[in-house]
């Protein structure tokens, strides 16, 4: 479930995407991406999905970031994998591939509350060499990143969520499921970005 954006919500399992207007009960199923995957014997996949309104183009857009691995994934830098960015323009009704520098592109984690649309850009929790917030401006179609606080670590077994708090982009960090309670790891941290960017 993603949104709302101007009253619209998105139902998705990452591949199938349905745009739904709860007020009118109308919905629209987006076509599956027509682009073929290059990686053979795959289906291990991770990535991010974004949906928002482009006020300059007066259009709704979806952006899909995919990182596809061999099955089973080996998780090392030289592993055969494919990274793609695809954009769907609702007014045109078709997917297109977005060009970017594949070597420099971070890994995005698609989990509930790891993404949010804010100030005309989609934001995802991601990892380059350190944890970052990856941003995609929906109008200019450009990527940028925001550094996460220095206390964030990719292997700290914590979950990072992006939310709004008093109209500010906010990162909440809390402990994931664990078998033994730990008073240090069980703390919840909340970082509020007073000045955006």
Q: Are strands 142-147 and 131-137 parallel, antiparallel or unpaired?
A: antiparallel
When pLDDT is averaged across residues 12-34 and rounded to a whole number, the result is 91
What's the confidence (pLDDT) of residue 113? 66
CA gap 121, 35 in Å, rounded:
25
Q: What is the pLDDT of residue 107?
A: 79
Residue 53 reports pLDDT greater than 70? yes
- pLDDT tens digit sequence for 37-51: 654 544 455 678 899
Mean pLDDT for 168-195 is: 80
- pTM (two decimals): 0.82
pLDDT tens-place string over residues 78-136: 556 678 889 999 999 999 999 877 666 787 876 666 788 999 999 998 888 788 899 99
Contacts of 85 (CB under 8 A, 6+ apart): 63, 64, 65, 66, 97, 98, 100, 105
Top-confidence residue, 32 or 74: 32
More confident residue, 178 or 136: 136
Task: Provide the CA 64 distance to its chain's centre, in angstroms.
Answer: 8
């Amino acid at each position: 479930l993603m949104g709302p954006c101007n009253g619209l919500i998105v139902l998705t399992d990452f591949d199938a995407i349905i745009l739904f207007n709860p007020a009118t009960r109308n919905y629209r199923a987006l076509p599956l991406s027509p682009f073929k995957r290059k990686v053979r014997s795959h289906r291990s996949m991770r990535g991010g999905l974004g949906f928002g309104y482009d006020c300059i183009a007066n259009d709704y857009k979806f952006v899909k970031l995919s990182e596809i691995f061999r099955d089973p994934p080996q998780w090392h830098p030289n592993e055969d994998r494919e990274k793609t960015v695809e954009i769907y323009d609702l007014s045109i009704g078709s997917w297109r591939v977005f060009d970017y520098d594949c070597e420099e592109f971070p890994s995005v984690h698609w989990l509930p509350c790891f993404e949010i649309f804010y100030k005309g850009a989609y934001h995802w929790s991601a990892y380059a060499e350190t944890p970052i917030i990856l941003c995609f401006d929906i109008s200019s179609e450009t990527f940028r990143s925001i550094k996460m606080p220095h206390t964030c670590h990719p292997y700290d077994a914590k979950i990072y969520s992006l939310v709004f708090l008093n109209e500010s982009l906010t990162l909440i960090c809390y402990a994931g499921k664990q078998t033994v309670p730990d008073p240090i790891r069980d703390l919840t941290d909340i970082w509020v970005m007073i000045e955006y960017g």
